[in-house]
Amino acid sequence: MQQILDDQIVKTQTMKGSPYAKIFEVKIKDWEEWLLYTLNFSEYWVKVQSVWLYLEPIFSSPDIKKHLPIEATDFGNVDTEWKSIMAKVVEDTKVINFTKDRSFLETLKECQNTLDRVQRGLNDYL
């Protein structure tokens, strides 16, 4: 997906520079904005997924939940959001369709910030 996005961004920027593209200027701009949004979305997706995969088995432990209740609650909130996003993606796996909901990126950014705090709390505990 990353490679296709990068290729499409380069092609779109090349089109923008063409003198024949003036009549398509709005469509090209909209397409470029969507490509850049999708690239940003996919980068946050990978970040959140990697940290979530690391923390999920740790916060499945009742002992960790007992010693780190705030972090466990925060992780639980992220877990719910993450699973909600993944459920919506599974409903329609076409990137162009599920990225129409622009709130996903903001949710992923919030999840990333929360997971960073959870990971810092876990590291301080350990």
How sure is the predictor about 17, in pLDDT bands with cuts at 50, 70 and 90?
A: confident
Q: Provide the domain count of the chain.
A: 1
The domain that holds 99 is classified in CATH as 1.20.140.100
Query: What's at 42, amino acid-wise?
Result: S
pLDDT at res. 48? 96
Cα separation, 47 vs 114, whole angstroms? 12
pLDDT tens-digit series, residues 54-79: 999 999 989 888 999 999 999 999 99
C-beta neighbour count of 98 within 10 angstroms: 17
Range(s) of the domain holding residue 75: 2-125
Q: What pTM does this model have?
A: 0.81
5 Cβ contact list (under 8 Å, min separation 6): 35, 38, 39, 42
Cα separation, 15 vs 9, whole angstroms? 10
